Amino acid sequence: MDITSIHKAYASGQVTPEAVVNEIYDRIDAEGLQPVWIALVPREKALEQARKLQSAVQADLPLYGIPFAVKDNIDVAGIPTTAACPEYSYTPEQNATVVTRLEAAGALLIGKTNMDQFATGLVGTRTPYGICSSVFDKRYISGGSSSGSAVSVASGLVSFSLGTDTAGSGRVPAMFNNLIGLKPTRGVLSTHGVVPACRTLDCVSIFAETSSDASVVLSAARGLDGQDPYSRVPAIGAGAAPWIAAPSFRFGVPVAGTLEFYGDSHNPALYQAAVEKLVALGGQPVEFDLAPFLATAQLLYKGPWVAERYAAIESFVEQHVEAMDPTVAKIIRGAANYSAVDTFKAAYKLEELRRQTARVWNSIDVMVLPTAPRTYTIEEIGEAPIERNSHLGQYTNFVNLLDLSAVALPAGFRPDGLPFGVSLIGQAFQETALLVLADRLHRGLGATLGGSDRKLAETPALVAATPPPGCLLMAVVGAHLTGQPLNWQLTERKGSLIRTCRTSPDYKFYALKGTVPPKPGLVRVPGFEGPGIEVEVWALPEDTVGSFVDGVPQPLSIGTLRLEDGSLVKGFLVEPAATEDAIEITQLGGWRKYRESLK
């Protein structure tokens, strides 16, 4: 059910959106509504939407005829929102913003999926609508709280689904069902029309079979929403990821021996295999102290943020607590144990931890962790529902508190046939770059899609954009080259070397007089046929370019260079007047050869 395959089938005339919708509803009729679904869009209404697409141009709609599902804490006009609590149910008049945007892109909504009640849990068992299980073994949990959303994709009923993620609910079910689970930066996807869990932390998440599919959905759904006070877009340079297009990158791994798998004997080896694959992809592992991240994670359920869950449904809890799942009620009613003073103290502690953890990003570009330490059976969760739920959030709970982005991805199968998964975690607004790296790693570790036997290798790879997100490409020719005296001006701005190449032939090159340190000058001469001049192309975060340009001394300037492949980048040029008393070194083809010739 990946997007590309469906679109190819539509374009060839093999199937129509109407036929796809009918096939999905036939399967649901045969398999039963629950436990995956809480409510469906009426079949005839879904077919009507499919027929309307017949008059649209497929190429104009990135999600043309693509079936999807949403978690039942996300509003769909005319269909009750229950948040997995029937007594809480209300029928909204409007769609959540994300639903409206996806339908405008051509997606076809099938229905609303099961979940842990009020999005409180990572297990998928806290619901009166039946317990979802992993598509690989019915004895094991599906993960939650977005349980039905994950299973609907993994079982091939829809191509993608929306969940929500406050503590890991968009990532843990992805691991247990062999899926991509994208948790964007807070505010990238609007939460208008979403029943809040912790409103200051909530994210709408995306489940898909591939990173490419998740990227298409993200592009269609994102954008500032004036109806959501927490909606935001990145400032210039925010989320810059110059490392994603570089030949090498740095990835963080916890100090040896500090990962906890709660007695699981298979997952440590699979995690190590993921680390080794990242090395093969050009990654350089850097050990870091996980302790302050875990301390942050503890604040989410063992601190006053649980009171935010209470604030979301306060009147309902006070009047209908008997209608709630006992475990959910126990957690949310725990808000009474915290005072306003406790809240401020926890906020102070979070800022201390934020400062500690921020230092880690000076030495790494991305972090790789197990998505969850282990998988539990439904029976095991029943034996210790709160304790084992907390185990599942070991490596996910801190992400939203620290305003980070994350992608969970499949990382192979255990000997017992259950899937394992790892998460790539980056700084705010880096979800696009994370998806690209996740795709590379997924293709190195995985073979099949979701719960099917369809091949990942037969789907399109996700390629890094040029320039990388939030970056500008800058070509350097002299003192800023790697190993030269001004290279630090690039590295201190977190620039990444993308490639070494040459300019087009119509450039002359000069060694300028009186410059300290020695510098060259590059001048374009139309019609000149030279060897081309060696350059390094660097990706610089957009918000650092101004200070870099401001430091360029006369007679040098930053202009537009044409490279040997015809592409255009910004780079160093010189005023023609400065070449009058300079030494022409065009024939040497580059600054390094010139410097070597002086020895």
- Domain containing residue 125: CATH number: 3.90.1300.10
Q: Where does a domain end: 405, 423, 458?
A: 458
- Whether 191 and 324 map to the same domain: the answer is yes
- Whether 256 and 193 map to the same domain: the answer is yes
Query: Nearest to residue 349, comparing CAs of 283, 278, 418, 398?
Result: 398
For residue 230, is it within any domain? no
For residue 233, is it within any domain? no
For residue 332, is it within any domain? yes
Which residue range forms the structural domain that includes residue 330?
Answer: 3-224+240-458
- Whether 406 and 542 map to the same domain: the answer is no
| Structure tokens, 107 | 């997606």
| Structure tokens, 414 | 């255990």
- Whether 336 and 272 map to the same domain: the answer is yes
Phi, psi (degrees; rounded to nearest 5) at 242: -60, -25
DSSP labels for 214-255?
A: HHHHHHHH-S--TT-TT---PPTTTT--GGGGSS-EEEEEEP
Q: Where does a domain end: 430, 458, 486?
A: 458
- Cβ proximity of 435 and 211 under 8 Å: yes
| Structure tokens, 427 | 């700084």
For residue 381, is it within any domain? yes
- Whether 375 and 492 map to the same domain: the answer is no
- Euclidean distance between the first and final Cα of the chain, in Å? 63
For the whole model, what pTM was predicted? 0.96
| Structure tokens, 534 | 């060696």
- Cβ proximity of 121 and 328 under 8 Å: yes
Q: Where does a domain end: 428, 458, 488?
A: 458
Which of the 8 DSSP states describes residue 468?
P
For residue 319, is it within any domain? yes
- Whether 399 and 513 map to the same domain: the answer is no
Query: How many structural domains is the chain composed of?
Result: 2
- Whether 160 and 297 map to the same domain: the answer is yes
- Whether 450 and 495 map to the same domain: the answer is no
Local structure of 85: helix, strand or coil: coil
For residue 235, is it within any domain? no
Query: Nearest to residue 232, comparing CAs of 69, 405, 468?
Result: 405
Active site residues: 71, 145, 169
What is the C-alpha to C-alpha distance for residues 248 and 550, in angstroms, rounded to an integer? Answer: 28
pLDDT tens track, the chain, 599 positions: 899 999 999 999 999 999 999 999 999 999 999 999 999 999 999 999 999 998 899 999 999 999 999 999 999 999 999 999 999 999 999 999 999 999 999 999 999 999 999 999 999 999 999 999 999 999 999 999 999 999 999 999 999 999 999 999 999 999 999 999 999 999 999 999 999 999 999 999 999 999 999 999 999 999 999 999 999 999 999 999 999 999 999 999 999 999 999 999 999 999 999 999 999 999 999 999 999 999 999 998 888 888 999 999 999 999 999 999 999 999 999 888 899 999 999 999 999 999 999 999 999 999 999 999 999 999 999 999 999 999 999 999 999 999 999 999 999 999 999 999 999 999 999 999 999 999 999 999 999 999 999 999 999 999 999 999 999 999 999 999 999 999 999 999 999 999 999 999 999 999 999 999 999 999 999 999 999 999 999 999 999 999 999 999 999 999 999 999 999 999 999 999 999 999 999 999 999 999 999 98
For residue 158, is it within any domain? yes
For residue 417, is it within any domain? yes
- Whether 159 and 303 map to the same domain: the answer is yes
In what side-by-side order are the strands of the sheet with 583-584? 520-524, 507-511, 583-584
- Whether 436 and 328 map to the same domain: the answer is yes
Domain CATH for 530: 3.10.490.10
- Whether 398 and 537 map to the same domain: the answer is no
- Whether 419 and 544 map to the same domain: the answer is no
